[in-house]
Every structure is written in structure tokens, then in C-alpha cells.
Structure 1
Amino acid sequence: MTRARVITVSDRCSTGEAEDLSGPLAVRLLADYGIDATLVVVPDDIDAIRGAIRGAEAGGARFILTTGGTGVSPRDVTPEATEPLLATRIDGLADAVRRRGENSVASAVLSRGLVGVTRRSSEGALVVNAPGSRGGVADAVAVVGPLISHVLDQLGGGDHPRA
């Protein structure tokens, strides 16, 4: 089973002011893809987000999903925290997540979420920045979930499937 970490990025959830609804949903949805995810909550802070991503990878997580902080408000800094940690971006997956969201919410195109890998080796992790809404998380998992094992296999040097 693939080990994963879901990181909810929210000032209000990190202080207990609001209930985290998207993180637990992500954990449940990922289980349908054979992903064993644990959940942490951090504030909208670049250092906290980076530390959580680094800590997840150091702890053996091969898939890391952040939820929240991908919009355009001053506190939305998840992409800025994530980008320096990525060895390779996978913009096609990020675009696919946004396109899926457009089917139900026009504002999905405002998400600045990134997708990429931390290292191009068997120790690398796939990182996905999902919006903080339950719909955004469901869209991200629906797009990326079926591809996680393939991406991780590729990082380990696996061959491309033949047509």
C-alpha cells in the first residue's frame, strides 16, 4: 500500500476555529486507490507548509496532497511553498484538475495549485496542491488517484506501458 500524507493548509483549522472538512475527505477518497494517508493541519505559512511537505517525504510518504491555500488571497501561499521543493513540475495534471473543477464551479480556474515530483528517483514523492474545498479535493483525487501508482512506478525507473 502506498504511504501518503494529506496536509490541510488553513489558519482557521490549525487554530481549531474551523473544522477541517477537506482533509478527512481526501484521506477517505485516497483509500479507494490503495493509498494509506495520514493527515496534518498547518497554518497558511510558507515555512509551515514546506516543513510539512519535507517531513512527509522524510517520513516515507510517496504521495503528498495539500488542500487549501491555492487561491489569490494574500494568505494563499501553498504554491509558493511547494514550488522550490519540486524537481519536476507536471503541469498537465495541474491543468486537468482545474478543468475537472470547471464543470461544477467557474472559479476553479483561479486555483494556482501545482503538481510535481520532489525527486526523479525511487525516493521521490508526487505532490499535488488541491483547492481547500471538498469539491476541489474530490476533483483532484478523481484526476490524480488513478495515476499515482503509475507516476511512482515511473520514478522508480519503470517502463512506459505499451499501446
Structure 2
Amino acid sequence: MTACEPGTGPGAAGVVIASTRAALGVYGDKTGPVIVDWLREHGFEVSEPIVVPDGPPVGAALRALLTQGPAVVLTSGGTGLSPTDQTPEMTLPLLEREVPGIMEAIRAAGLAKTPMAALSRGHAGTAGRTLIVNLPGSPKGVMDGLAVLSPIIGHICEQIGGGHGH
């Protein structure tokens, strides 16, 4: 298993779900459990997702998680074109270095299945030693994104942690 910091396991991870309706209890969060399971399968320590309304609460949740120094923070939702979809705008100011290839690969994986993947405006990058990736809000979009991350997450964590990777 690749370590996010030398000599340790992959480390902690956080999940932020941007969904006004799920935050209000109109319906249940469908993507958070999928992301949590994936993170645990990859050896990360993760608690339950933080479910917040779209917009500024996403930024507040991200900032709060970053104070804990997780290796990875994955978001789901708020990356489309509706007026309340502001996850990219809340994420970008927190990123010190963007990693556009991650989002290009996630959009490409989604485009193989639906033209709607082209509408995802998410970002990926680093804030200190934390990788942040904005995943789409649909379970299928999340699965596509996680499939892209699976073969590279260990290498990413190793490099962010100061290692050289493979």
C-alpha cells in the first residue's frame, strides 16, 4: 500500500456533499456512501460525509476539513450549471496547485457514457499536502471519477507527502 506520508498508512480523508435537497432532508445522500466506501477500500480513515447546501457552505466545510490536514478531500455535487452550483468557485480559491489532468480524465471517462459529463466544471488540485477533487453529483458520475482515481491515488498521495512515487 502506498503511503500518503512516509511511514504511515494512507491517512485521513474527508467527504463533502454539496446538495441543498439532501442537506434539507428532502432525499437521502446517494453519493457520499459510495465515496466513503471507496476511500475505506483504499485504506483511508474517513468519517461520515459532511452534507451541506450548495454554495458558500461548501467552502466553509472544505476550510474546516483542511484544518485537520487530511490526505484527500473528495466533494460531490454542485459542479453543474444551475445557479446554485458553486462547488468549483468554493474550491478554486483553496487550491495552491491545480491538477487539470485529473479532471480531464474524469470528464473523458464520463463522456464515454453520457454527453452531460462535458457540463461538469469541477477542479482538482492540492491545498498544502491535501488533494481536493470535485466529483459530479450523480452516483454514475462519482463512480466514473473514482475509477479514474483508483490507479493513481497512491502515487498522488506519495508525491504530495514528499515521496518520489514510482
TM more than 0.5: yes
Question: Which of 13, 21, 26 is 2:22 aligned to?
Answer: 13
Structure-to-structure mapping, 1:19-30, within 5 angstroms: 19-30=28-39
Aligned length: 156
Identity %, equivalent residues? 40
Q: Counterpart in 1 of 2:6?
A: none
Structure-to-structure mapping, 1:42-121, within 5 angstroms: 42-46=52-56, 48-119=57-128
Amino acid at match of 1:55: A
Query: Which secondary structure state, in structure 1, belongs to the residue aligned with residue 85 of structure 2?
Result: coil
Query: Which secondary structure state, in structure 1, belongs to the residue aligned with residue 152 of structure 2?
Result: helix
Instruction: State how far apart, in whole Å, the 2-side matches of 1:29 and 1:45 are.
Output: 25
- Cα contact 1:115–1:129 (8 A) shared by 2: yes
Question: Which of 145, 149, 156 is 2:154 aligned to?
Answer: 149
- Cα contact 2:158–2:165 (8 A) shared by 1: no
Instruction: State how far apart, in whole Å, the 2-side matches of 1:157 and 1:61 are.
Output: 15
Q: 1 or 2 for the larger relative contact order (CA 8 Å, sep ≥6)?
A: 2
Over the aligned positions, Cα root-mean-square deviation in angstroms equals: 1.2
TM-score (norm. length: structure 1)? 0.90
TM superposition outliers: structure 1 runs of 4+ over 6 Å = none
Q: C-alpha offsets along residues 110-160 of structure 1, whole Å, 9 cap, x if unaligned?
A: 1001000002xxxx2000000000011111111113322211211222124
Instruction: State how far apart, in whole Å, the 2-side matches of 1:42 and 1:113 are.
Output: 17
Instruction: State how far apart, in whole Å, the 2-side matches of 1:62 and 1:54 are.
Output: 14
